[in-house]
Copies of this chain bind each other. A is one copy, B any other.
Amino acid sequence: MATHGARGRSGGRPTLEEVAARAGVGRGTVSRVINGSPRVSDATRAAVEAAVAELGYVPNTAARALAANRTDAIALVVPEPETRFFAEPYFSDMLKGVGAALSDTEMQLLLIFAGSDRERARLAQYLAAHRVDGVLLVSVHADDPLPDLLAQLEIPAVISGPRSSAETLPSVDSDNYGGARQAVEHLLSRGRTRVAHITGRLDVYGAQRRVDGYREAMSDAGLGADEGMIEAGDFTEEGGHRAMAALLERHPDIDAVFAASDVTAAGARRALRDAGRRIPEDVALVGYDDSAIARHMEPPLTSVRQPIEEMGRRMIDLLLTEVADRRPLASRGLERRQMVLATELVSRSSS
């Protein structure tokens, strides 16, 4: 490595100081221009901008981070193995929204997977080093220690699905309860009466809310709550298959199924086929997520669409607010920092 003194000065990247000299102003002024402070005269600003352009000046991020005690980076933390991340369109949509919201910002987005214990330990170290200004948390389970760690480190965070109705972190979610109702009411409006539900992982709050929506839509329609019509799945295809098989065994006369995810619905479909049931003639099927799977299934799957991209965008908005508030220790608190977005039923031929 080059010796300390020999670096800089000649050849290397230009520094703030050099820009200042070139523009004939002081360091402070250049810094103000770079950071868009309004307290600079137009003439000075122009001179500085010219010097910046001539020298091809690019601020040194490390120096800025050190002096200002911020990193201009936020992390999207996915407490799942890579595999699931890529398998589920949920994440890629979310990423798209997040990317879009960030694209006219100086913020850098980091994608961090924390599926294994080892990765989680690494993440903890990473956060302890305050290498990001804020964290976006997706798909967090009820007992995850991550939110507490973040709170303790005083790192702003926004969570996608609240962990419970008493979530303390700012959150953005879709209306799981309402979405489930939409699905069930749709099936009922089609004349179905024996509607079963395959749930998601029940340690995910959103999955519980879908169960709530199912239950209440059924009882509102005067169709008592037969708990035998509810079977636990886990958001996987295999789980959907298993659950559907169990349901058919208990209630061979089922005429409709609301599955908590499209992948689950795909598993259910397989079990229905195995049992010789036709879709939708014998059994109508509705999924959740409106993913690519839904469109390509045979028959195409009716599904509840969540505005995932939009959720990503809103999460960024919330997080950036949190990060900015951090500085003047604002009167934070009771403003509504929980956001719920509406879902939409996409009707296809499976129902």
Interface set of A (CB-CB < 8 Å, partner B): 1, 7, 13, 56, 58-63, 65-66, 69, 71, 82-83, 85-86, 89, 92, 95-96, 99, 103, 108, 110-111, 113, 118-119, 122, 125-126, 128-131, 327-328
Contacts and interface: CB of A to CB of B under 8 A. Distances in A.
A128 B58 contact: yes
Top 7 A-B pairs ranked by shortest CB distance?
A62-B65, A86-B92, A62-B66, A1-B327, A58-B129, A58-B128, A111-B111
B131 A61 contact: yes
Contacts of A328: 1
Given A58-B128, A59-B129, A82 B71 contact: no
Contacts of A7: 69
A350 to B, nearest CB: 20
Nearest to A130: B13
Contacts of A1: 69, 327-328
B99 A61 contact: no
Nearest to A89: B86
A113 to B, nearest CB: 7
A131 to B, nearest CB: 6
B62 A82 contact: no
Nearest to A59: B129
A60 B99 contact: no
19 contacts: A1-B69, A13-B130, A58-B129, A61-B65, A61-B131, A62-B65, A62-B66, A63-B66, A82-B92, A82-B96, A82-B99, A86-B86, A86-B92, A99-B113, A103-B118, A103-B122, A108-B126, A108-B131, A110-B110
A135 B107 CA distance: 20
Given A86-B86, A103-B118, A110-B110, A129 B92 contact: no
A168 B163 CA distance: 51
Given A86-B86, A118-B103, A328-B1, A62 B71 contact: yes
Contacts of A86: 86, 89, 92
Nearest to A83: B92
A321 to B, nearest CB: 16
Contacts of A119: 103
Contacts of A58: 125, 128-129
Nearest to A292: B87
A131 B126 CA distance: 17
A71 B113 CA distance: 20
A61 B83 CA distance: 30
A89 B86 CA distance: 8
A27 to B, nearest CB: 16
A61 B129 contact: yes
A317 B43 CA distance: 51
Given A65-B65, A83-B92, 19 more contacts: A1-B69, A7-B69, A59-B129, A60-B129, A60-B130, A61-B65, A61-B129, A61-B131, A62-B62, A62-B65, A63-B66, A82-B95, A82-B96, A82-B99, A86-B89, A103-B118, A103-B119, A110-B110, A111-B111
